[in-house]
Every structure is written in C-alpha cells, then in structure tokens.
Structure 1
C-alpha cells in the first residue's frame, strides 16, 4: 500500500511539474499570498472573483490555481494579524492575541518567522497524512454524525470561552455575546427571521468578515487614534531579528506538533471550518502551560499552535471534499463547485477515475508551500518595515482596505456599517478589559451547535439520550463536564487563596 502511494505520488509530481501546471500553481500561491495580506480580502473573495477564469481552463491547472490561492492566503493572512492586529481571515483572529503583542514588543519579525516555520511544518504533515491515511480518515469521518459533531463543538465552545486572559467569567460572557450574534438571521428549519429588528439585510445573518474586522481591526484603530508614533518606533529590525533563535524554535516546536495534530483531526470531519481548530489549539496551549498568564501578552506558543492547526486543517480539508463530496467550509464549497463545473464528480471513485488530478494536486501542495517559503523569506523584511509607518498613515490606509474588502464580499454598504458598529463595541469592550476573541468563537460555533443538536434530536425522534448513547459523543460530553468542573475548582481555589492572604494581612 505504501509502495503504491509513493509510486502514485511520483506520478503526481510529474503532473504538477509540467510547465503550464507549475505556472498556474505559482500564480495561485502568489495571488493568495498578496490577497491574504489585504484586510477583508480573504481566500473566499479571491476564489469567487477568479472562478469564472477557470471555465475555459483545463481542470488540472484550474484546481491547482484555486488550491494555491486557498493555502497561499493562509500565509498572507497571518501577516496582517501579527503586524497590524487585522485578522484578514477569521482563523487568524486567534493569532492576533499574541502575535500583535509580540509586534508591540519588537518581536514582530520573530513571530512571522515562527509562523512561516509552523505553517510549512503543519502543511507537510498534512500532505503526508493525505498520502498515507486518506482511507482511514474517510472511515473516521463517517463515524461522526450530528450527535458527535454537537458534542465536540460544545467542548470547543467551553474550552475557547475560557481561553482569554483575565477573568474566565468575562470570557464566558463574551462567548454568550457571540452566541447571540450568531442567532441573528433566518432559522434554517422554520425559515423565520430571528432578531433582525426588521432589517432585511440581516436575514442572511451577520457577515463574519465584518464582525472580525470590526472587533479587531477598527477597534484597534479607535483605541490608537491619537497616537502619532509608529507601531515599532525606536526599533531597529535587522535580518537576524527575523530569524528565530534556537531557544525560540525549541519553545515553539511542541506547540507546532500539538496544533498540527488538532488541525489534522478536525480536517477529517466534514462541516467543521478552520476557525474552531485555531481556537482549540490556543485553548490547549494555555491550559497545559505552567505560565498561562503570558498568553495574550506575547507568548510564542500562542502564535505557533494556532497557525500550525490552521495550515494542517487547510491541507486535510481536501480529503472530505474530494473523497466524500462534503466541503469543510465556504472556500472548499467553491473548490467543490469548480470540480463539478469541469464535470468531475467528487466521491470515493475520484482517486481511481481522475488519478492525475488527485495526485497532481497533492504534489502541488508541497511545491506550492516551498514556493511560499521562497516568496516570504525576502518579503518578510517588507512586512516588518510596515512597523515604521506612523499611525496617521498606516491605519487610515488599513481602514480603506477594510471598507473595500468588506464591501466587495457582497457589494453591500450595510456590511461596512456593521464593521463600524462592531468596531465601536470592540473598543468599548477593550477599555473595560473584556477580550473580544471569544465573541468570534461563539458566533462561529453557536449556529453549528444549534443545527447539529436539532438534527440529532430529529433523527432520534426527540430522545435527548442520543448524545449519551453514542460512545464518541458521550466521551466529548464527559470532557466538557470535566472542563467546567476544573474551571469551578480553580476559581474556588483562587478565592480561598485570596481570602487567606487578606486574613494574613
């Protein structure tokens, strides 16, 4: 089996290295990288705009280009999150928590270097898993029904809700705010509009890009509107500053491994987007750290783990999309649509019927990730120079791209107004020391948890014991209960210690 996979992979490299296929793969990663840097212009916007171009193309270069845009934008999206606190792609919202504080401390180049290493490592592992473990992962994916997906997402919600620095209670409160925002829109089961205040523009829910860029990008601008210096004023960035030291690489290695594992695990589950993997990877690192108070202040692990999980998930996402025809998120749905446009039916027979496409795509992942490293090594210096741009020039420019990016998503000025509302709310929350990252988690997972819960109850004819009757679902529910119990224990233990100190004084 291994020998056959290696033989097929060599055939895939022969396909991917054909001049026209290599050219379109390079175009994809280059466009994806550049688009990823621009606020609001993520992979979804880029693929949507370039999809008509693929109609007249051969299927193989068309899919290679679209795939290159997908994982290329993941590289570029981390740059805005680390340097400017702008999560151009929602999964990078977690990277903002420690990436931007590292920039403020003069470690922006180090954060970018670690991101590049974590991304390449995780992508490589994801590609290897695709080569050798695709059949096993497909079988595992079939074991996750609505009950299992509900339980694992509930665990992610509970873990992520308490991940923010400071008060766990504030983190839970922000998660609930996100859940409420996620309820806005049309109920998929009844077709009734909920919590829209009579605004038809909200019938299709609050736009995710508007929420993320408002809470992180615009809020940061409002908080620093009176600053006249630059982000890295007084900081001298040299080439060696952009290369992590041996100690920093050692510090980030195990978080990379754990993040890659989480991304690989969730990549095999249809219907789960990359955002949940980054939140879970971050929450895990904070839980197991001996110094959790460092997170949110510029912890290197808080950058390495989420980025690794995001890139591993990006690669593994192609397994359920191509082998089952079930996309993991909106971007994969577009790539699925591109396959169907070219008359290629995703499913178990795709590998046999279109072996050149499947193995050429896998080979192009490695080629594309090498191209991204080659592109980003010289360009990292350009990104770090952004630190020297004064706020009075930097943030108005960023606001322009935010407005253009959000408007271009659905050609709606109403969504630009959403950015303004969420930006003001985010600035107020920041002043009150409420972390806004859990809002995004609640928004993403809330509707999915509701959907899977209702679907599981519908299939079980309203029997709630279905969540305990299925072993995988019961396991994740027990983990959720244990996590809540531990949080209560640590809270009570902290209260007791504070009381003892007051009595001792």
Structure 2
C-alpha cells in the first residue's frame, strides 16, 4: 500500500509541477490572500466569486486554483484579525483574542511571522497525514455519527463561551446570542421562515459581512474615532519585524504541535469546519498553560495553536472529500463540485 501511495505521489508531483498548473496555484494563493484580508470575505466567498472561471478550465488546474484560494484566504484572514481586530473568516475570531493585543504592543509582525510558520508546519504535517493515513482516518470517520458530531460541536461552543475573559455568564450569553443569529432564515427541512419577521431579505439568514462589520469594524471605529494614540508600530512594518526570537519560537512550537494534532484529528470528520477546531485548540492552550489568566493580553501561544489547527484542518479536510465524497465543510462542497 505504501509503495502504491509513493507511486501515486510521484505522479501527482509530476502533474502539479507543470508550469501552467504552478501558475494557476500561484494565482489562487495570491487572490486568496487579497480577498481573505477583506472583512467578511473568507475562503467560501472567494471561491464562490471565481467558481464560474472553472467551468471553462481543465479539472486539475481548476482544483489547484481553488485549493490555492482556500489556503491563501486562511493566511489573509489572519492578517486582518491580527492587525485590525477584524476576523475576515470565522476561524480567525479566536486569533483576535491574542493577535490584536500583540499588535497594540508593537509585536504585530511577530504574530504574523508565527502565523506563517504555524501554517507551513501544520499544512506540511497535514499533507503527510493525508498521503499515508487516509485509509485509517476514513475508517475512524465512518464511526462518527450524529451523536459524536453533536458532541464535538457542543465542545467547541462550550470552549468558545468559557474562554472569554471576565464573566463566564457573559461568555455563555455571547454563544447563545450567536446561536440565535445562526437560526435566522429558512428551515432546510420544512422550508418555513425562522425568526425572519416576514422579511424576505432574511430568508437566507443574517449576512456575515454585515454582522462582522457591525460588531467589529464599526464598533472599533467608534471606540477609537477621536483617539490619537498609536496602536503599535504597524505603519513601518518590515520583513525583519516578522522574525520571532528564539524565546518566542520556544513558546510557540509546542502550541503548533498541539494545534496540528487537534486539526488533524477533527479534519477527518465530515461536517466539522475549522471554526470549531480553532476554538478547541485555543481552549487546550489555556488548559495546559501555567498562566491561563494571561490569555487575551497578547500570548503568542494563543496565536500559534489556533492557526496551526486551522491550517492542518484545512489540509486534512481533503480526506473525506476526496476519498468518501463527503465534504468536510461548505468550501470542500464547492471544490467537490
């Protein structure tokens, strides 16, 4: 089996390294980074915009371009979350908790550098796992039914509600409010409106762009509209500023490993998107930390762990999509098409 996998891998590299395919991959990553920075424009929106272009393309470069958009938008979303406190993609909402405080401390470049290293490390591990462990992970994924998937989602929601600083009651209220916003729209089973107040505009649910801009963009603007205080030194950010120190790497590397393991485990399970994975990874970092109260004030582990889990989950998501034909999330559903 390993010999056949290596043979198929060698053939796949031969196809992927063709000049035209490399150009389409580069184009996808570039577009993904540019669109991923925009508030509310994550991988799903970016792929949806460029999906008509694939109708006239060969399937191989089309999939390579869409995968490049997927990966590029993941890192592009982290840029907005760290530098502007605006999660362009839901998984990066956790990155805001410690990424933006690092920016206010003048360490925004370090946070971006750690994010880049975490994404490369986690994606590399995810590729190896996808190549050699796909049959085993597929068997594990078959054993997860509705009860197990519900338990994982409940774990992610509880982690998200209890990780917020301050009152735990406010954290739970935040999660409940998010669930109420999520049920607005048309019921997929009965086709009836839920909490839409007979407004046709709400039939598709609340717009993510409007929510993110209202809760994060406009609120942050009104908070700082008449303040002249500088937030870090982001205006003169240089490439050398993105190089973390040895001490910072020493703190971030264990978090990268733990985040990669979390993303790999949940990546093989259909229906669990990267958002739940990042919340679980962040909760795990707080659990194993000797100073959990410091999270939310600029802890580098709070950036490395969730970002590693998101990128490893992104890679391993291809296992159920390509082997079972069951997409792991909405982005994988588009790529499967």
TM-score, normalisation: structure 1: 0.64
Q: How does 1:24-423 map to 2 (within 5 A)?
A: 24-232=24-232, 237=237, 239-337=239-337
Between the aligned partners of 2:236 and 2:59, the Cα distance in structure 1 is 48
Between the aligned partners of 1:143 and 1:248, the Cα distance in structure 2 is 39
Q: Specify the alignment match of 1:464 in structure 2.
A: none
1:6 is displaced (CA, Å) by: 2.0
Q: For residues 92-133 of structure 1, what are the alpha-carbon distances to aligned partners after superposition, in whole Å with 9 as ceiling and x for unaligned?
A: 111111100100000001000000000000000110000001
Report if the CA contact (8 A) 2:185-2:202 is conserved.
yes
Q: Specify the alignment match of 1:428 in structure 2.
A: none
Report if the CA contact (8 A) 2:35-2:41 is conserved.
yes
1:7 is displaced (CA, Å) by: 2.4
Q: For residues 193-234 of structure 1, what are the alpha-carbon distances to aligned partners after superposition, in whole Å with 9 as ceiling and x for unaligned?
A: 222222221122222343233322222112111123543359
Between the aligned partners of 1:35 and 1:160, the Cα distance in structure 2 is 26
Q: For residues 64-89 of structure 1, what are the alpha-carbon distances to aligned partners after superposition, in whole Å with 9 as ceiling and x for unaligned?
A: 11111111111111111100111111
Of 244-253 and 185-194, the range deviating more from structure 2? 185-194
Between the aligned partners of 2:52 and 2:159, the Cα distance in structure 1 is 41
Between the aligned partners of 2:69 and 2:238, the Cα distance in structure 1 is 30
Between the aligned partners of 1:327 and 1:313, the Cα distance in structure 2 is 13
Between the aligned partners of 1:234 and 1:140, the Cα distance in structure 2 is 45
Report if the CA contact (8 A) 1:93-1:212 is conserved.
no
Q: For residues 382-420 of structure 1, what are the alpha-carbon distances to aligned partners after superposition, in whole Å with 9 as ceiling and x for unaligned?
A: xxxxxxxxxxxxxxxxxxxxxxxxxxxxxxxxxxxxxxx
Report if the CA contact (8 A) 2:162-2:171 is conserved.
yes
Q: 1:148–1:238: structure 2 CA closer, same or farther, 3 Å change rule?
A: closer
Where structure 1 has 5 or more consecutive residues not aligned to the other structure, the ranges are 338-505
Report if the CA contact (8 A) 2:263-2:308 is conserved.
yes
Of 91-100 and 33-42, the range deviating more from structure 2? 33-42
Report if the CA contact (8 A) 2:106-2:234 is conserved.
no
CA radius of gyration, larger in: 1
Report if the CA contact (8 A) 1:90-1:209 is conserved.
no
Between the aligned partners of 1:181 and 1:266, the Cα distance in structure 2 is 25
Q: What is the root-mean-square deviation in Å for CA atoms of aligned residues?
A: 1.7
Between the aligned partners of 2:205 and 2:314, the Cα distance in structure 1 is 25
Where structure 2 has 5 or more consecutive residues not aligned to the other structure, the ranges are none
Report if the CA contact (8 A) 1:113-1:242 is conserved.
yes
TM-score, normalisation: structure 2: 0.95
Q: Specify the alignment match of 2:14 in structure 1.
A: 14
Q: For residues 39-64 of structure 1, what are the alpha-carbon distances to aligned partners after superposition, in whole Å with 9 as ceiling and x for unaligned?
A: 23322222122111111211111111
1:236 is displaced (CA, Å) by: 6.5
1:266 is displaced (CA, Å) by: 1.3
Report if the CA contact (8 A) 2:40-2:212 is conserved.
no
Report if the CA contact (8 A) 2:39-2:209 is conserved.
no
The SS at the match of 1:110 is: helix
Equivalent pairs counted in the alignment come to: 337
1:257 is displaced (CA, Å) by: 0.8
1:239 is displaced (CA, Å) by: 4.6
Between the aligned partners of 1:252 and 1:136, the Cα distance in structure 2 is 29
